[in-house]
A = this chain, B = another copy of it.
Amino acid sequence: MPDEMSRPLIQERSDGGGSRRLEASMSEPSDPVIGILGTGDFSRSLARRLVASGYQVVVTSQMEVASQADLVFVAVFPEHHSTLVGLKPALAGKTLVDVSNGLRINQDGPSNAEQLADLFPESCVVKGFNTLSAWTLQVGPRDGNRQVFLCSDSSKAKKSVMQLCRRMGFIPVDMGLLSSSLEIENLPLYLFPSWRVPVLCTLFLFIFFYSYNFVRDVLHPVITGGKKAFYKMPIETVNVTLPSVALVMLALVYLPGLCAAFLQLRLGTKYNRFPAWLDRWLTRRKQFGLCSFLCAALHAIYSLCLPMRKSARYKVINEALKKFKDGVQDVWVDEDVWRMELYVSVGIMALGLLSLLAVASLPSVSNTINWREFSFVQSTLGYCALCMATLHTLLFGWGRAFEASRYRFYLPPTFTLVLILPMTVLLGRLALFVPCVALRLRQIRRGWERNRNIRFTLPENDCRNGLEDVSNV
């Protein structure tokens, strides 16, 4: 890849006093002179990027930086901030940009930036650039995340940093007052916070169903019949477990939406906030869906591997040997053939639909579709996928649920357990199609309320009349 940083953009200028400045030939007198305190990788990459963007940058002794620059980046470890207090008079009235990060997530505050602001009450502290790596600064914002989150109590300082940010090729995102700095400092420390619950949920379901299937499919034949069955553990048992997890997780994608609808119907308004757990669940639906898709895709691969295995080959040969010994000339069980042809075909369609949903949830795809299209994909196609997956399971289990021999150790077959939640969700969704229920829900979502007491405090009562909301959601 081309790299303009390798070109000699930077001219060093040394005046008599030993002070050194880096500048590009295109810097203008009206631009602020930028100073950088700190000499690590980040500082150097920042200096190069700033110079490449046409700014004068001062990187000499601390005092000279503080006195000559109009806008100073503080790129030292926060535990050394206190060593800078000597620069206080020189930095008074100037803008300080705190680029530091914490080592661990800080929930309580104060943030590094707030502590810096306490140390330099006469300077304007702006928090930002901490989400960028030295690497991104060095190669420029061409790939990787271009957003820079900024906050400050001084609107003027923030504006000048935003402009600088834009000129460096990044997209500044205004996060408000300096009280947001804690949040901004935590941003690069998160480890998939939105995935925690869905992944834990997937793991829990996997362990539960795996144990259940292990007892039924491995332990039971070994204990009751002394048959070889432990070899089933790596593939067959996993392959019965994965679709169970996938289907339950898919049902959990659509359950919170149903809960929300029934809650709105019960309260007769959409202006009551949902309980926090429901709110959080609603925002995690994408993650639940992708976990479901991953399990479904793995289930497909495991299933396709079944006939490849030595064990499958031995079984076919053994069956052929046995049938010949028994004098059987034609093996063919029509019910088994039909069942399998049908549930495999329906299963493939369910997987196809889930794949479309997964592709549509890629950020770059979901950004190009409008809300109506998003809703069509995630709601209409999504419910189709849920129906298909449920049908796949029903066809697989059909008849078997009522055979006594399937209740090993009195445990019902796995698929009967698995079907409870998706069937509930599908029935609940059907209930919302009943005309009077559907009509009421539509009214509520357009702003109708059973008890017209405004709970939201912002708007006056009088301006409600005749003016409903233009809700796109």
Interface size counted on chain A using CB atoms at 8 A: 161
Q: Give A348-370 interface residues, CB cut-off 8 Å to B.
A: 348, 351-352, 362-370
Q: Does any Cβ of B come within 8 Å of A235's Cβ? A: yes
Q: Does any Cβ of B come within 8 Å of A223's Cβ? A: no
From residue A433, how far is it (CB to closest CB) to chain B in Å? 20
The answer to whether A460 and B60 have CB atoms under 8 Å apart is yes
The answer to whether B24 and A342 have CB atoms under 8 Å apart is no
From residue A148, how far is it (CB to closest CB) to chain B in Å? 11
From residue A365, how far is it (CB to closest CB) to chain B in Å? 6
B residues less than 8 Å from A468 (CB atoms): 38, 40, 76-77, 80
The answer to whether B76 and A143 have CB atoms under 8 Å apart is no
Q: How many copies of this chain are found per oligomer?
A: 3
B residues less than 8 Å from A301 (CB atoms): 300, 304, 348, 351
**Nearest B residue to A194, CB-CB:** B1
B residues less than 8 Å from A144 (CB atoms): 366-367
Q: Does any Cβ of B come within 8 Å of A16's Cβ? A: no
The answer to whether A54 and B460 have CB atoms under 8 Å apart is no
| Distance A102 CA – B141 CA, assembled complex (angstroms) | 25
18 residue pairs bridging A and B, Cβ less than 8 Å apart: A2-B190, A4-B176, A20-B458, A24-B177, A39-B458, A39-B467, A39-B469, A140-B173, A142-B173, A228-B332, A234-B344, A304-B304, A309-B337, A310-B337, A313-B316, A317-B323, A318-B332, A320-B321
8 tightest CB-CB pairs across the interface, nearest first? A40-B469, A364-B364, A26-B155, A234-B345, A39-B459, A133-B472, A363-B364, A320-B320
